[in-house]
Structure 1
Amino acid sequence: MTAAIGSTHPPLSAPFSPAFPIRSLQDVERLEAVPLAQALPVQSTYEIFRNSAHAFGDKTALSFLPTADPADEPVRWSYAQLLAGIHQTANLLHSLGVGPQDAVAVLLPGCLEYHLALWGGEAAGIVQPLNPLLTPEKLASMLALAGAKVLIAYGEDGDSGFWTKAMGLRNAVPGLHTVLRVAPHGEAPGAAGPLPDGVIDFARRMAQPDDRLVSGRRIAASDIAAYFHTGGTTGAPKLARHSHGAQVFTAWACVQMQGMRPEDAGINGYPLFHVAGVLPGALAALSAGVETIIPTTGLFRNRQVLANYWRLAERYRCTYLSAVPTVLAALANVPLDGADISTLRYCRTGAAILAPELAARFERLFGLHVHESLGMTEMAGISTITPPGVSAPAGCVGWRLPHARLRIVALDAHGNASDREMPPGQPGMVLFHSPNLFSGFLDPADTAKAFTPDGWLATGDLGFIDDQGRLHLSGRSKDLIIRSGHNIDPKVIEDALGAHPAVQLAAAVGAPDAYAGELPVVFATLLPGAQASEAELLDFACAGVDEAVARPRRLTVLETMPVTNVGKIYKPALRLQAACQTVQALVDGACADLDLAARPAVQAEGESAVRVLVEGGDAALADRLRQVLDPLPIKVQVVLSPPGT
């Protein structure tokens, strides 16, 4: 592919580059001294790719790894090739009748073609990335809600059923008139055989002009670029609308706050149906000339990618690492084995509050301080950032973006945002107003719930601002269970279990897990006189939950449910009990492996930690238990009791 810059396009401007290092709130305010319209003239994501292709040409933009073996050769696309493919994809979609108001759905794993679908889709219409782990019914409802005309789908099932789901959607969504089949990597031309009516081979139809948009479209900053679904893998899906201007601002702000430069390189293992992978993870890098590595179709869900991560970082001379805390927890169990990671200068995480124990462990093992950020779909992927060179405690997610505003307000009697401002150091709900604020949900009723009456985004996050102007998160107003980046609404589990005739109360929480971060578990109390076994209730609850990742792994029947003084179920107590159960199971397993009949006692230590008491002075057992329990993302104290006590 070759990419020429046509004269009918908007004027070219320079790619994004950092003005100066950000080390304080005063530095953020220095950026704001230049009016945003002057600092950021780019109107659309399409312009970002034109600017990058012009500036970087043959420099590598994307490197796809067919396998996780660091010795294998990647497939590389230059910035010029990427722009050419975006033109061809947009022109193909235009030929299929896709216009600026039409949705193009995407059901792909990690691959180069995902970037053609994303950015070509935004140049032609509105792109709608889909989570392949959702049930066919939920996927169909989202396509119908968006009015998707075209679906770009992977041509084999893999582990998520891509192609089977795509064929089912073709029949289930009346307005979906075309499916574009993306051939799996390495598939020989024509190997798929004849395709059904309405299904087109993506590569074969890419013979389109590669130097311009045939439509002649001039994209405005206010035009809608994408629909991203929120609510995680469970619950009723909501489609958040992103404008081109919001996505462009996210890319520019990330470059400024993180000091991103063309010599940087990083592995983007986030799924591209999620804002973290698409915007701060990909668009920001591609706006600044950075090389982005796509680690196999499985991304971070591929355990071999994690097992070889440090060698891959060495091979591609990565300068930054970005991953959610659950992935960091998994990487903490992967030894360096001599890998040279001296090029890594920045490690960033988000999506969940970082456990202090994990942050300390990561720094101890790899010499990498973990910098936290806050991102959300409703703010095009990023809200606050802790920049490189700034050391902050776990739970501190950094400074607001330039030209953004941040407030902390008290909660009202219903747990919603009030209009009472909280002083520095005092916790409350986090509110934002920012240039990358989303354009509302497709459903106006959902939009109304997202904002305060005076137009601020009510995040549902709880936190405070310190004396340096940095945001610290202290919890979530919604008790989501976060399993390997999947947000699970506990109400789905509770509603399923609550339908059992013997159940009086049900409460689902996350139990700590070394790999997934949290696993869903559920507690129940029974109606007076009712009888039901825990196994029976667990089977009943699982049968009522659609998504496999949301099905509870354990159920416990309680005599009484812990409640607050106003009668609300007190979930912190349940989380601690779930943590004790997890630790006890691991302790029992370790003792069984050692043929020990006695089991050390596991008990709560305070309100958030777990204590394991090893009696009799058995130091070897205590050391073994520490090894087993150390990967858990909670604080576990193994205490050795002297003989005779």
Structure 2
Amino acid sequence: MTQKYENNYSTPVGAPFRPALLVRSLADIRKLEETPLEQALTVRSTYEIFRNAGHAFGDKTALTFLRTGNPADEPIRWSYAELLSRIHQTANMLHTLGVGPDDAVAVLLPGCLEYHLALWGGEAAGIVQPLNPLLTDEKLVALMTAGRAKVLIAYGSDAESGMWSKAMRLRGQVPTLTTVLRVAPHDEAPGTAGTLPDGVAEFDVLRAAQPDDRLVSGRDIAPSDIAAYFHTGGTTGAPKLARHSHGAQVFTAWASVQVAGMNENGISINGYPLFHVAGVLPASLSSLSAGVEVIIPTPSLLRNKEVLANYWKLVAKYRPTSLSAVPTVLAALANVPLDGADISSITYCRTGAAVLAPELAARFERLFGLHVHESLGMTEMAGISTITPPGVNGPAGCVGFRLPYMQMRVVALDENGNATDREMPRGQQGMVLFKSPNVFSGFVDPADNAKAFTADGWLATGDLGWIDDEERLNLTGRSKDLIIRSGHNIDPKTIEDALGAHPAVQLCAAVGAPDAYAGELPVIFATLVPGASATEEELLAFTAARVDEAPARPKWVSVIATMPMTNVGKIYKPELRAMAALQVVNAAVAEACAELGVPEAARPVVKTEGESLVRVQIDSAAAGTLAAPLQQRLQKVLEPLPFKTRIATQ
């Protein structure tokens, strides 16, 4: 048989990824492991994935972009062959702009077809660096500077998170940046942008001038070459840049196909943002490596209210075989009636990013007949760690089996919540550790690696969980989210599951409120199902009755209008902790004012500044002679709190 090479690329065109067998147990995963990994997986780079898929699937649809959330509107579709051609052009354009294997290409885009060109063309030419558009300019500059970004690919409109204005501001602040490439919105009329400044060019104009059948660089990409920089965090503190090798990303795609059984008959709606590993790797690269059609639901993705309102109608039209969304999106979808929509095409419903509440899992199955399968993924493992395959139904919190060729342990925590080397027995909770072919290549800043790994080289995930009798991992939460009350560790999930069972509760999250004596006391915030009503006293009593451990019963419940979220759809607990601290300080200020007889109109203004400081501003003119005693009293009361407060007079 004659081997087919694609021009100057030294590896012959191979087959797309296909499942070797039906995985329903750990025994099946062990059967996969009977073949040495180097024989089972020979693909060396993400570029090779698209080269193989492009040749295998040709005119089959790879990407479907929904212009709006209206099911009647016609989408834009790209075939696998078109996607490969445009990836070639994008990589070649970046090469002509001076991007080499060690140069970063920063990406500031919403959900769009061009994001896939930036991702995979960027990895074929250099190192792609997706950016969260909601980060501050300061943090984006720090990330791009740390990654030594040479090119920025940005959305040419402010309609999505003010991206174009942000890109223009970043331009002059990153020393290594030489070029900004403007991606025109899909509905923009030609010539709308006008004349662009020096160093700024139209993405599609430059791309279209490049060869579409090869990499002109002649680059032969090794599995150890760095493919991407993904930032972790950033919503609190300084974000860190995690390095992904091509080999790690390829393994994620291959292992996902094996365990989840992906094939060319699949269709999925990918509503995850593409600056996040979940949207890029398990939801995109894995799907596209196996011939799945991936639907992009408008630039705003699942933040688009029209998409959410019409979700089941979109399912009826596009016939996806799988549904994948974070728990908060599933909670929102639970409020959208089917109205007769045929959703029978969905055979696999999947979630991740946060632990699934049992009540939400039960509600989804009751309303739609869909069992929600959970997976675990993280940036430091190229997006996936464990998977619950189709046909394997576990309880809420069960995130499935480890991947093939992976090792997994659960170990005890020390008094500071860090991993020890003491293995926990089956069924007992501890921190989850991994060794795997898709573990990341460390952070760009070596100083950030110290807490990422144990002394003997295991990835310390920070996730808390236990292994059941079927050798599936069951998650309970994050070590950093533990509420520590007088040295006693309280799992917030215990409280959240209790309150989440109330029929009026839509979402809830428990955090520690600062306390001068106990360090932290458990409290919980909740949003209500639209149209439902419940008092905070009723919800507190309901929760307390269902939490057996007295120290874990919350001190108060606060009903809020909206739950703070990250751009990925996770509940944002740092903001809730700041809100809890604000309530504690407000109560202390009210008590001090009452003791001293400070009039209502003269009471201090209390507000949070960021997520780690509460400021108490005393108006000395209004408080008069009571201002000084009030300041002294508050300093005495607030100083012991394990939270930063600042008292000032004006």
Could you say which TM-score interval applies, normalised by the shorter chain? 0.7 to 0.9
Task: Please give the alpha-carbon distance, in whole angstroms, between the structure 2 residues aligned to 1:536 and 1:111.
Answer: 48
Matches within 5 A, 1:117-196: 117-196=118-197
Q: For each residue in 1:545-594, what CA deviation from the matched residue of structure 2 results, as whole angstroms up to 9, or x when unmatched?
A: 89xxxxxxxxxx9x999x9xxx999xxxxxxxxxxxxxxxxxxxxxxxxx
**Letter of the structure 2 residue corresponding to residue 512 of structure 1:** A
Q: For each residue in 1:29-64, what CA deviation from the matched residue of structure 2 results, as whole angstroms up to 9, or x when unmatched?
A: 111111111111000000000000010000000000
Which of 229, 232, 237 aligns to 2:231? It is 229
Deviation at 1:13, TM superposition (A): 1.4
Which of 433, 436, 444 aligns to 1:431? It is 433
State whether residues 512 and 518 of structure 1, in contact with CA within 8 Å, keep that contact through their aligned partners in structure 2. no
**Letter of the structure 1 residue corresponding to residue 317 of structure 2:** R
Which of 410, 413, 425 aligns to 2:415? It is 413
**Letter of the structure 2 residue corresponding to residue 261 of structure 1:** N
Task: Please give the alpha-carbon distance, in whole angstroms, between the structure 1 residues aligned to 2:192 and 2:524.
Answer: 45
Which of 520, 527, 530 aligns to 1:513? It is 527
User: Which residue of the partner structure matches residue 302 of structure 1?
Assistant: 304
Which of 381, 384, 389 aligns to 2:383? It is 381
**Letter of the structure 1 residue corresponding to residue 382 of structure 2:** A
Relative distance call for 1:518 and 1:448 in structure 2 (3 A) is closer
Task: Please give the alpha-carbon distance, in whole angstroms, between the structure 2 residues aligned to 1:541 and 1:127.
Answer: 34
User: Which residue of the partner structure matches residue 479 of structure 1?
Assistant: 481
Task: Please give the alpha-carbon distance, in whole angstroms, between the structure 2 residues aligned to 1:417 and 1:560.
Answer: 35
Task: Please give the alpha-carbon distance, in whole angstroms, between the structure 2 residues aligned to 1:537 and 1:313.
Answer: 50
Relative distance call for 1:52 and 1:537 in structure 2 (3 A) is farther
Task: Please give the alpha-carbon distance, in whole angstroms, between the structure 1 residues aligned to 2:603 and 2:283.
Answer: 42
State whether residues 506 and 522 of structure 1, in contact with CA within 8 Å, keep that contact through their aligned partners in structure 2. no
Task: Please give the alpha-carbon distance, in whole angstroms, between the structure 2 residues aligned to 1:217 and 1:300.
Answer: 37
Q: Secondary structure at the match of 2:607?
A: helix
Q: For each residue in 1:347-389, what CA deviation from the matched residue of structure 2 results, as whole angstroms up to 9, or x when unmatched?
A: 0001111000000000000000000010100000000010000
Which of 387, 395, 412 aligns to 1:393? It is 395
Task: Please give the alpha-carbon distance, in whole angstroms, between the structure 2 residues aligned to 1:249 and 1:233.
Answer: 29
Are positions 1:59 and 2:117 aligned together?
no
Task: Please give the alpha-carbon distance, in whole angstroms, between the structure 1 residues aligned to 2:143 and 2:310.
Answer: 36
State whether residues 110 and 298 of structure 1, in contact with CA within 8 Å, keep that contact through their aligned partners in structure 2. yes
Relative distance call for 1:276 and 1:232 in structure 2 (3 A) is farther
**Letter of the structure 2 residue corresponding to residue 61 of structure 1:** A
Which of 517, 527, 541 aligns to 2:609? It is 541
Task: Please give the alpha-carbon distance, in whole angstroms, between the structure 2 residues aligned to 1:346 and 1:335.
Answer: 20
Q: Secondary structure at the match of 1:321?
A: strand
Q: Secondary structure at the match of 1:410?
A: strand
Deviation at 1:150, TM superposition (A): 0.4
Deviation at 1:507, TM superposition (A): 8.5
Deviation at 1:7, TM superposition (A): 5.1
Task: Please give the alpha-carbon distance, in whole angstroms, between the structure 2 residues aligned to 1:489 and 1:459.
Answer: 21
Are positions 1:522 and 2:536 aligned together?
no
User: Which residue of the partner structure matches residue 102 of structure 1?
Assistant: 103
Q: For each residue in 1:453-484, what CA deviation from the matched residue of structure 2 results, as whole angstroms up to 9, or x when unmatched?
A: 000000111110001100011121012999xx
Task: Please give the alpha-carbon distance, in whole angstroms, between the structure 1 residues aligned to 2:637 and 2:354.
Answer: 30
State whether residues 375 and 381 of structure 1, in contact with CA within 8 Å, keep that contact through their aligned partners in structure 2. yes
Q: Secondary structure at the match of 2:274?
A: coil
State the TM-score, normalizing by the size of structure 2: 0.78
State whether residues 135 and 234 of structure 2, in contact with CA within 8 Å, keep that contact through their aligned partners in structure 1. no
Which of 263, 279, 284 aligns to 2:265? It is 263
**Letter of the structure 1 residue corresponding to residue 476 of structure 2:** S
Relative distance call for 1:510 and 1:250 in structure 2 (3 A) is farther
Q: For each residue in 1:65-93, what CA deviation from the matched residue of structure 2 results, as whole angstroms up to 9, or x when unmatched?
A: 11011111110000000001100000000
Q: Secondary structure at the match of 1:539?
A: strand
Q: Secondary structure at the match of 1:190?
A: coil
**Letter of the structure 2 residue corresponding to residue 449 of structure 1:** K
Task: Please give the alpha-carbon distance, in whole angstroms, between the structure 1 residues aligned to 2:6 and 2:217.
Answer: 15
User: Which residue of the partner structure matches residue 595 of structure 1?
Assistant: none
Relative distance call for 1:201 and 1:510 in structure 2 (3 A) is farther
**Letter of the structure 1 residue corresponding to residue 264 of structure 2:** P
Q: Secondary structure at the match of 1:172?
A: coil
Task: Please give the alpha-carbon distance, in whole angstroms, between the structure 1 residues aligned to 2:259 and 2:391.
Answer: 11
Are positions 1:326 and 2:384 aligned together?
no
Task: Please give the alpha-carbon distance, in whole angstroms, between the structure 1 residues aligned to 2:210 and 2:510.
Answer: 44
Matches within 5 A, 1:445-464: 445-464=447-466
Task: Please give the alpha-carbon distance, in whole angstroms, between the structure 2 residues aligned to 1:395 and 1:537.
Answer: 42
Q: CA RMSD in A?
A: 3.1
Deviation at 1:490, TM superposition (A): 8.7
Unmatched runs of 5 consecutive residues or more in structure 2: 483-491, 494-508, 529-561, 564-569, 615-633, 644-650
Q: Secondary structure at the match of 1:50?
A: helix
Deviation at 1:233, TM superposition (A): 2.2
Deviation at 1:510, TM superposition (A): 6.6
User: Which residue of the partner structure matches residue 532 of structure 2?
Assistant: none
Deviation at 1:8, TM superposition (A): 3.4
User: Which residue of the partner structure matches residue 373 of structure 2?
Assistant: 371
Task: Please give the alpha-carbon distance, in whole angstroms, between the structure 1 residues aligned to 2:11 and 2:55.
Answer: 13
State the TM-score, normalizing by the size of structure 1: 0.79
State whether residues 510 and 525 of structure 2, in contact with CA within 8 Å, keep that contact through their aligned partners in structure 1. no
User: Which residue of the partner structure matches residue 337 of structure 2?
Assistant: 335
Task: Please give the alpha-carbon distance, in whole angstroms, between the structure 2 residues aligned to 1:190 and 1:489.
Answer: 51
Relative distance call for 1:296 and 1:509 in structure 2 (3 A) is farther
State whether residues 234 and 489 of structure 1, in contact with CA within 8 Å, keep that contact through their aligned partners in structure 2. no
Deviation at 1:231, TM superposition (A): 1.2
State whether residues 408 and 464 of structure 1, in contact with CA within 8 Å, keep that contact through their aligned partners in structure 2. yes
State whether residues 374 and 399 of structure 2, in contact with CA within 8 Å, keep that contact through their aligned partners in structure 1. yes
**Letter of the structure 2 residue corresponding to residue 330 of structure 1:** A
Q: Secondary structure at the match of 1:84?
A: helix
Q: Tell me the matched-pair count.
A: 539
| Percent identity of equivalent pairs | 67
State whether residues 235 and 489 of structure 1, in contact with CA within 8 Å, keep that contact through their aligned partners in structure 2. no
Are positions 1:90 and 2:91 aligned together?
yes
Deviation at 1:5, TM superposition (A): 3.8
**Letter of the structure 2 residue corresponding to residue 86 of structure 1:** I
State whether residues 324 and 349 of structure 2, in contact with CA within 8 Å, keep that contact through their aligned partners in structure 1. yes
Task: Please give the alpha-carbon distance, in whole angstroms, between the structure 2 residues aligned to 1:266 and 1:37.
Answer: 30
Q: Secondary structure at the match of 2:268?
A: strand
**Letter of the structure 1 residue corresponding to residue 29 of structure 2:** V
Task: Please give the alpha-carbon distance, in whole angstroms, between the structure 2 residues aligned to 1:358 and 1:255.
Answer: 27
Unmatched runs of 5 consecutive residues or more in structure 1: 483-487, 547-556, 570-645
Deviation at 1:451, TM superposition (A): 0.1
State whether residues 251 and 280 of structure 1, in contact with CA within 8 Å, keep that contact through their aligned partners in structure 2. yes
Which of 239, 242, 245 aligns to 2:244? It is 242
State whether residues 231 and 489 of structure 1, in contact with CA within 8 Å, keep that contact through their aligned partners in structure 2. no
Task: Please give the alpha-carbon distance, in whole angstroms, between the structure 1 residues aligned to 2:523 and 2:260.
Answer: 34
Relative distance call for 1:443 and 1:43 in structure 2 (3 A) is same
